[in-house]
Amino acid sequence: MHRLIPLSLTLATLATMGCIRPDGAKKTLPGKELFAACASCHGDTGVGEATIAAPNIAGLPAWYVESQLVKYRSGIRGAHPEDLEGLRMRPMSRQMMDEGEVKAVAAYVASLTPVKSAPSLKDADAAAGAGAYAVCLACHGDKGQGNQALNAPPLVGQYDWYLVNQLKKFKGGVRGANPLDVTGGQMRPMSMTLADEQAMKNVVAHISTFSR
C-alpha cells in the first residue's frame, strides 16, 4: 500500500504541472499508471471497498466508465450537495488532464477481470423483485449484462448496496436530474417505478442472482 503514495503524489504533481515533458510536448500517461490514483479506493483489482462505498468497477465496459468520468469531471454527476459518495469520487476524476487519459484509464478498468460481489442485503425478496425487473430488462438485459446501444450499463456482479443507493439517488434527484444528464435522465423515470426502498432492495436481490 505505502508504495502507492509516492506514485499518487507524482501523479498529482504531474497534474498540477499539466504533465509537460522537458521537450514541451504533453504526454498522456498509460491507463495502468493513471489507475494508481484510483486503487486507493477501488482497490488494485478494481473490486471496490464497501467501507468507503467505492463500487466494483473491474471489467465495466470502457464506454460506460468513460461516460461517467466525463460526467464527474463536468459536475453532471457527483456535484449534488447530498451526493456524499459522488463528492468523494468527483475530485479524483478531475485529476486526469485530458480526454486521452480519461480514455486510457477507462480502457484499463475495462481490462480488469470482473469479480462478482458477495450479496449483503438481509431483508430482500429476490422473487418479489423478479416482477419489477421486467421494466429493467429492455435496457439492462435478461442477465443484467447492459446494452451499449441504449447506454445502459451492466448491473451484474455489482455490490447490492451500491445499486440500491444509486436507485435512491435517481429517484431523489441526486443523480440523473441535471438537465445535461441525458442518459441519467433516461434512467430516472425507471427508478420511479420502484415504490419504496423495499422494492429497490427486492429488485436488486433479483439482480444479484445473475451471473455472467
Candidates 37, 97, 121, 126; binder of ligand HEC (CB under 6 A) is: 37
| Residue in the block written with cell 503524489 | 9
Candidates 47, 58, 104, 109; binder of ligand HEC (CB under 6 A) is: 109
> CB neighbours (10 Å) of residue 106?
25
End-to-end CA distance of the chain: 31
* Distance from C-alpha of 88 to C-alpha of 157, rounded to nearest angstrom: 22
Least Å distance, CB 21 to ligand HEC, is 21
* Total of residues contacting ligand HEC (CB under 6 A): 43
Cell numbers that stand for 47 in this block: 473490486
* Distance from C-alpha of 65 to C-alpha of 47, rounded to nearest angstrom: 14
Candidates 11, 29, 58, 105; binder of ligand HEC (CB under 6 A) is: 105
Comparison of 23 and 103: residue with beta carbon closer to ligand HEC: 103
Candidates 124, 190, 205, 208; binder of ligand HEC (CB under 6 A) is: 190
Among the residue ranges 13-21, 22-30, 115-123, 159-167, the one whose residues contact ligand HEC (CB under 6 A): 159-167
Does position 198 bind ligand HEC by CB under 6 A? Answer: no
* Distance from C-alpha of 186 to C-alpha of 147, rounded to nearest angstrom: 13
Q: Is 103 exposed, middle or buried (0-12, 13-18, 19+ CB in 10 A)?
A: middle
- Contact map string, positions 65 to 104, toward ligand HEC, x by CB under 6 A: x-xx----------------xx-xx--x------------
Q: What angle do CA 138, 151, 158 make, to 5 degrees?
A: 80
Does position 111 bind ligand HEC by CB under 6 A? Answer: no
